[in-house]
Structure 1
């Protein structure tokens, strides 16, 4: 039995995966704030999974954790996970002694890319490829090619959020202007919208539907940024599909329609771009998908964290 945990800024999703790849148990719980609380969350998630799915501790062979922030290469040390209140934490060293099971750690977006690829095995084969574009507080992607996670020379493959697509656009937290993340990242949109609400991006779409001019402009910027990220991933990595996931995809077809419209509009003047049929190469991750936790379970089960296979 393999266990995978997706430790998010507000909740942690945990799954138990059988040797055949079937998800046989799943629990969700609130993520704590700060290093000590994150450790407690991981331990609590494993205990809850054992209890609610009836899994004995001895039946668990590995645990993988997907978590925001940078993962120090070749280690389980998490750095700069600001949305969790974690500056530096060796997660495996903190939880392995109590769990008694090997623990591996991966960046959450890369883990989600592996999980999304595994869920799409009916379209993936030895030569197929996929990018997972995470649309949450920020914007980033993970790329899986030939069933294997592609990290790039320095581990930054897929970091499309800080590509500037409009030098006169809104200022990004990275210091540039007009970054994809500044246009389509949840935090940036909420800041520019400036109105209280539990789901600012949904509020923007609702207000745009009602004819609010400012909301219409923000919605157009969101679609422009996401469409640009999809184009970048297709044009640079030539992936077969770009799967959109993350909090913004809770908007469902409302979001997909805007992105598709933007892609078609940008391709209208270019026969080359039309030939790529990019608007047919993106899709939304189904709501409630366990992709990130499943990907973490795949990470946990591999012996070589630098060469993780989506097929487990």
Structure 2
């Protein structure tokens, strides 16, 4: 079994994946706060998977972990995972002496989710995964090419920051973003930004905005239109820079499903109405949504962990 964990700010999603790529078991736990809490949550999640009948207590062949924050390609140190209360944490060192935990591979959670979404779609072609959660970020996955790239390989960029589209300003006169700019994609489409501008208590503020907009609330209608504007802008950026075949929408905000998808497609068609070039790209036909509660991030983490296992069996010269 290959173990994959998506360690989020409120919950940790963990899966055990067979060598054939099938999910054999899945558990979800609340994520404890701070470095010690994160390490304890990971250990508990691996143990919980080991207790599942399909896993039968077998030692994991590999462990991959998706985490928010900055993760250097191939590294095990996580920086600035503020939603977890982690400023800096070397997970390999913290987990190395724990029973049942072998070597681990760490990846940024959005990039792990991109790889998992690619595997779940099971279709050829290039893909950008646009994560619409507390913030906004993207990951790229490309198929094999004549240059030798493996099928379904992440593109991280020169310094691991490819896809950080949330802080691209698309409206200098737009709302203030936490980064200090105005009109960033994240200021329009990030769940935290929408909730802050909505300013009303609720368990699911973005869903409340959509419901209120449907009921005729003008403030909610403006926020809803702004969210679609921000997502549509991100789709244009991702396609115009990388020319991916499809942009898959995921993350908590994407749980709105076709209520969101229809808004984004309509906004993309409207923005293309005056441009024959944009119409030729058919951007509204190049978006897809992950199903609610998809295990994409945990599955992607498991695949990343399995890649470490594969590297270790290569001959050394």
Normalised by the length of structure 2, the TM-score is 0.92
Secondary structure at the counterpart of residue 51 of structure 2: helix
Shift in Å, 1:52? 2.1
Q: Which residue of 2 aligns with 1:110?
A: 111
Runs of 5+ consecutive residues of structure 1 not aligned to the other structure? 307-312
Contact preservation (8 Å) 2:16, 2:49: yes
Q: Which residue of 1 aligns with 2:121?
A: 120
In 2: Cα distance, 1:288 partner to 1:58 partner: 26
In 1: Cα distance, 2:6 partner to 2:260 partner: 24
Q: Which residue of 1 aligns with 2:271?
A: 266
1:4 aligns with 2:1: no
Match of 1:141 among 138, 149, 156: 138
In 2: Cα distance, 1:60 partner to 1:102 partner: 10
In 2: Cα distance, 1:63 partner to 1:50 partner: 13
Q: Which residue of 2 aligns with 1:78?
A: 78
- How many residues are treated as equivalent by the alignment? 302
Gap change, CA 1:101 and 1:304, over 3 Å in 2: closer
Match of 1:193 among 198, 204, 216: 198
1:260-309 CA deviation, whole Å, 9 max, x = no partner? 11011001111111111110000100112111000000111113999xxx
In 2: Cα distance, 1:190 partner to 1:222 partner: 11
Shift in Å, 1:258? 0.6
Contact preservation (8 Å) 1:134, 1:245: yes
Shift in Å, 1:205? 0.6
In 1: Cα distance, 2:250 partner to 2:96 partner: 30
Runs of 5+ consecutive residues of structure 2 not aligned to the other structure? 144-151, 312-317
Contact preservation (8 Å) 1:79, 1:86: yes
1:38-58 CA deviation, whole Å, 9 max, x = no partner? 001000000001112452554
1:230 aligns with 2:230: no
Shifted more, 28-37 versus 49-58: the winner is 49-58
Shifted more, 95-104 versus 83-92: the winner is 95-104
1:248 aligns with 2:259: no
Q: Cα RMSD between the aligned structures?
A: 1.5
1:132 aligns with 2:129: yes
Contact preservation (8 Å) 2:265, 2:284: yes
In 2: Cα distance, 1:161 partner to 1:305 partner: 33
Contact preservation (8 Å) 1:61, 1:102: no
Shift in Å, 1:192? 0.6
Contact preservation (8 Å) 1:26, 1:49: yes
Secondary structure at the counterpart of residue 234 of structure 2: helix
Shift in Å, 1:59? 3.8
